[in-house]
Chains A and B, each alone.
Chain A
Amino acid sequence: MDALSETIGRRGRARVVLSLTPLIDVVFILLVFFMLVSQFASWRAIDIIPQVSSGVSTSMHQTTIVVTVESADAFLVDGDTYSDVSAAAIAALGLGEQDTSYLVRPGDDVAIQPVVDLVEAMTRAGINNLRVETEGVE
């Protein structure tokens, strides 16, 4: 009797066929969804402090040096044009005094990339008291 019921049980179980096709469909749809919406790029934050040009400076520093970004490879400091936008070259200019603040002024239609490059190079050169001038809210 036990042998008979075991045989019937086995046959009964063998007849239940679980279709994997819907599972495969769902898993593929999930895969396509995650492939389309996932991003693996790691974004990094930069510290740019804007200062409205018409506003009153909150800086306590007495001297402010304006650094004007003319293009991707040219910037002006006190009327002199420099082309080497690297931390070493900026450090060689002798900037970075403690009681001086720096205002980076983007020239007309200058893209954001050269401005960020200059700010990054100045920060690397040890200049921390710097802000980026803006005309204010459009």
Chain B
Amino acid sequence: MKQLALRRADHRPDGTLPLINIVLLLVLAFMIAGTVSVPLPDGFQPLETSDAQPEHADGELVLLTMAADGRVIGDEGDLDKGSVANLLRSDLAKAHGVTIRVDARIPASRVLSLLAAAEDAGVANAVIVTMDRVQ
């Protein structure tokens, strides 16, 4: 009788299966709905607009982030002026464009200088991206 009870216990469905199912679904949701990109710096306050066009990124563009303290951050961390200039002159930047995420508090002159540098380097498609303003 005792052996029978033990055998039944062996055949009972594993209680962790629903957990695995849910976690796998969560993984799928993050993989499909989320975008893997360079994290924003601490305290980043994005520019806000009301009626900007959705950005159609092709996934290979050069992404730059300008923090509130003026740092320019690329895929691999902080960039100095020379590195920014090299990046803007790269074939990747010229072919796919440059997307710039800007902190709203940074002086306009710095952002415009970066845009001018991109234009100067021959980047035809340098855009500033913003977030939708919460009404």
Contact = CB atoms under 8 A, between A and B. Distances in A.
Interface of A: 14, 20, 23-24, 27-28, 30-31, 34-35, 37-48, 50, 52, 69, 106, 109-117, 120, 124, 132-138
A44 B24 contact: no
Given A110-B107, A116-B49, A45 B23 contact: no
Interface of B: 10-11, 14, 16-17, 19-20, 23-24, 26-27, 30-31, 33-37, 39, 46-55, 81, 99, 101-102, 104-113, 115-117, 119-120, 127-132
B35 A38 contact: yes
Contacts of B55: 42-45
A47 B125 CA distance: 10
Contacts of A35: 30
22 contacts: A34-B27, A37-B34, A38-B34, A42-B131, A43-B130, A44-B55, A44-B129, A45-B53, A45-B54, A45-B55, A45-B127, A46-B52, A50-B115, A111-B105, A113-B104, A114-B108, A116-B128, A120-B51, A136-B113, A136-B116, A137-B113, A138-B110
Contacts of A50: 112, 115-116, 119
A44 B133 CA distance: 11
Given A134-B109, A137-B120, A34 B20 contact: no
Given A112-B107, A116-B130, A14 B10 contact: yes
A27 B27 contact: yes
Contacts of B31: 34
A125 to B, nearest CB: 12
Taking chain B's interface residues, is the majority helix, strand, or loop, or is none over half, making it mixed?
Answer: mixed
Contacts of B105: 111-113
A41 B35 CA distance: 9
A116 B47 contact: yes
